[in-house]
Structure 1
Amino acid sequence: MNRWHCLPSEPGPAVASLGSPPAWQPLDRSARLLRLAFGLGWPLAMAATPSWLGRGGLGLGCGFRALTGMPCPLCGGTHACAALVQGDWAAAWAASPGALILLLWLVLLTGQAVVEGAQGRRRVARWPWWHPAVLAAVGGGLVLSWGLRLAGLA
């Protein structure tokens, strides 16, 4: 019996055997560059989104709202991006709680892309934010926020 509960008492899954698959697989050059471009370009795109979609930029509005007259699940996301770029978490939450949850999940993906691109290898095991429960929470938060907005409660 091991008195250190955090350490395995017998060799088990914590000790890799010779025949086990590697934890990381190498990336080819194009996959590495794609991950780095996403990981480094996405924050820049997020910062530029308000100017692209606003009245001073391209003036592209929400296509869903133009077709249906109702707000889409991501309505308020542009304002949430602008607030996050300025560091105003309360304003981002007020603009669109669902979009804020989605943006925070995208920050995790950005970090994953930068790590994998910089190292030149991808993790074989799923990252924790790809767990089905996390994906359900992100999607559920987006749908709940949208439902509350449609009901006039948010």
Structure 2
Amino acid sequence: AVYFFSLFPVLYFSGKWSLINNSKLLRISNKLLAIAFYSIYIIIALLLSFYTPKGKEHIVIFINILIFFSFTVAAVFAKPYKDNLNYLALSIVCIMVALVWFELDKYRVLCNPDSYFQPHSFWNLFIALSGFYFYVYIRSEGMKATIEIKMHSV
């Protein structure tokens, strides 16, 4: 599940970056691009799930997150206009906080079997928040950063 979750932003921004830099891809229909995108996503995630050597999972996840950051920077700064980046920033902050809890969980720091609060649960919480903010960012792309509320007088 971690591979599927950490790989989606990488493929999203790599696809977005390649569309910005390769105008020939824009001529392909959206349906074909979506099929290609999800096919590549599923194939890579399954390969990572089944062929990552035992004990190297943490490194693969960390590399996925670093690639996510690099494609995020490339895709965001390559665009002529800026989207609402607040949600993307919140997603990145949540990933960074999740990585801290991920490392604490890996080395069993603060792991008390009698406690309700475990590093692994905080890792799951913050990675889920990151996914939520990333979803809201994708959903808000193309919208203005501020929302105007017009009040009509009666």
After TM superposition, the score normalised by the length of structure 2 is 0.32
Higher-helix-fraction structure? 2
